[in-house]
């Protein structure tokens, strides 16, 4: 499986019990959507290795899984902190006003005045609000990703996000 055809959907956590189960830090919404895939690709060093999902369930606020051939806690411990991914073509289609974060990363961010704020480095959730971390040269700023509020438009073809946001004081214009 080619790495560029995969989308990271989580990270394996610490072993859970002695029979090969382990915690999952799921990047899906809701978190148990990570259980919707028969095969999970686990990043081991520079390659992706396919594992069949044997079992999985919600556990408290999180998710736990047991992967095929992961038979005890020692094997599971070797996979701790490894990213898990699925083929892009297995992801469900989204409505027009929703986006996978991976598709927003590296997009150029421009404000309504045409000033370049930088490129999206990554997104994260904070208190129920998605936040873009935008980098321009050596400076980072965080802008809430609120569609039809701070985010005016997303144009995936132009690889650009237009925001209603002012450049921070003292920031040099970077007209890419």
Domain hosting residue 155, numbered range: 101-163
pLDDT tens track for 60-85: 989 999 999 999 999 999 999 999 99
Q: In this structure, are residues 22 and 16 in contact, taking their beta carbons and an 8 Å threshold? A: yes
pLDDT tens track for 121-136: 999 989 989 999 999 9
pLDDT in tens, the chain (176 residues): 677 789 999 999 999 999 999 999 999 989 999 999 999 999 998 899 999 999 999 999 899 999 999 999 999 999 999 999 999 999 999 998 899 999 999 999 999 999 999 999 999 989 989 999 999 988 999 999 999 999 999 999 999 999 999 877 665 555 55
Does 18 share its domain with 78? yes
Does 35 share its domain with 86? yes
Last residue of a domain, one of 43, 62, 90: 90
Q: In this structure, are residues 10 and 27 in contact, taking their beta carbons and an 8 Å threshold? A: yes
Residue 171 lies in a domain: no
Does 7 share its domain with 86? yes
Q: How many domains does the chain have?
A: 2
Per DSSP, helices labelled H in 13-164 are 73-78, 101-104
| Structure tokens belonging to residue 135 | 């980098």
Rounded Cα gap, residues 139 and 154, in angstroms? 22
């Amino acid at each position: 499986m080619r790495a560029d055809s995969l989308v990271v959907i989580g990270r394996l956590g610490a072993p859970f019990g002695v029979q090969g189960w382990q915690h999952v830090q799921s990047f899906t919404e809701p978190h148990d959507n990570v259980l919707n895939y028969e095969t999970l690709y686990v990043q081991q060093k520079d390659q992706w290795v396919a594992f069949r999902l044997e079992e999985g369930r919600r556990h408290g606020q999180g998710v736990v899984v047991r992967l095929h051939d992961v038979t005890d806690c020692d094997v599971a411990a070797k996979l701790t902190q490894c990213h898990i991914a699925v083929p892009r073509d297995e992801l469900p289609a989204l409505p027009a006003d929703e986006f996978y974060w991976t598709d927003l990363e590296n997009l150029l961010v421009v404000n309504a005045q045409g000033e370049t704020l930088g490129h999206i480095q990554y997104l994260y959730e904070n208190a129920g609000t998605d936040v873009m971390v935008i980098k321009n040269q050596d400076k980072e700023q965080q802008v809430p990703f609120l569609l039809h509020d701070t985010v005016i438009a997303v144009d995936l073809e132009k690889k650009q996000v237009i925001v209603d946001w002012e450049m921070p004081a003292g920031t040099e214009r970077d007209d890419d």
